């Protein structure tokens, strides 16, 4: 037990770490090239800061960043491929599928860009 607590004192716990904890970006399913590109840019920065290098870990973590319409799309898409050999288990495939679904039709995108 800490000496200050044992002697009736108090211990200050820093909340700085809680307030500055790195959080992954989120994507809600907007059909906006800017929002999608920003999401992937921030996701890449998040993975770099967190030391996440494995593709399947990136896909798993990225899927937790999907909200609202994007979340529903992911769960339907994921359930569709579980029974087949068409998994979305690489960052490139995840990015291509998400952009195919949500990128505005009149916007062009680079399918091989980093996640």
Rounded-to-integer distance, Cα 42 and Cα 38, Å: 6
pLDDT of residue 4: 47
How many CB atoms are located within 10 Å of the residue 36 CB?
A: 23
7 CB-contact burial (10 Å; exposed 0-12 / middle 13-18 / buried 19+) = exposed
pLDDT of residue 56: 87
pLDDT confidence band for 89 (50 / 70 / 90)? confident
pLDDT confidence band for 36 (50 / 70 / 90)? very high
pLDDT confidence band for 38 (50 / 70 / 90)? very high
pLDDT above 70 as % of the chain: 68
Distance from CA of residue 45 to its chain's centroid?
10
Q: What is the pTM of this model?
A: 0.69
Phi, then psi, of 6 in degrees rounded to 5: -65, -30
First to last CA, the chain: 45
**Between residues 80 and 57, the one the model is more confident about:** 57
């Amino acid at each position: 037990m800490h000496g200050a607590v044992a002697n009736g004192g108090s211990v200050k716990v820093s909340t700085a770490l809680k307030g500055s904890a790195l959080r992954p970006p989120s994507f809600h399913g907007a059909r906006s090239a800017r929002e999608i590109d920003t999401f992937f840019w921030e996701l890449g920065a998040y993975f770099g800061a967190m030391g996440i290098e494995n593709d399947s870990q990136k896909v798993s973590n990225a899927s937790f960043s999907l909200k609202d319409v994007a979340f529903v799309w992911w769960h339907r898409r994921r359930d569709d491929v579980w029974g087949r050999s068409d998994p979305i288990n690489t960052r490139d495939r995840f990015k291509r599928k998400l952009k195919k679904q949500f990128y505005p039709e009149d916007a062009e995108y680079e399918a091989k860009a980093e996640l």
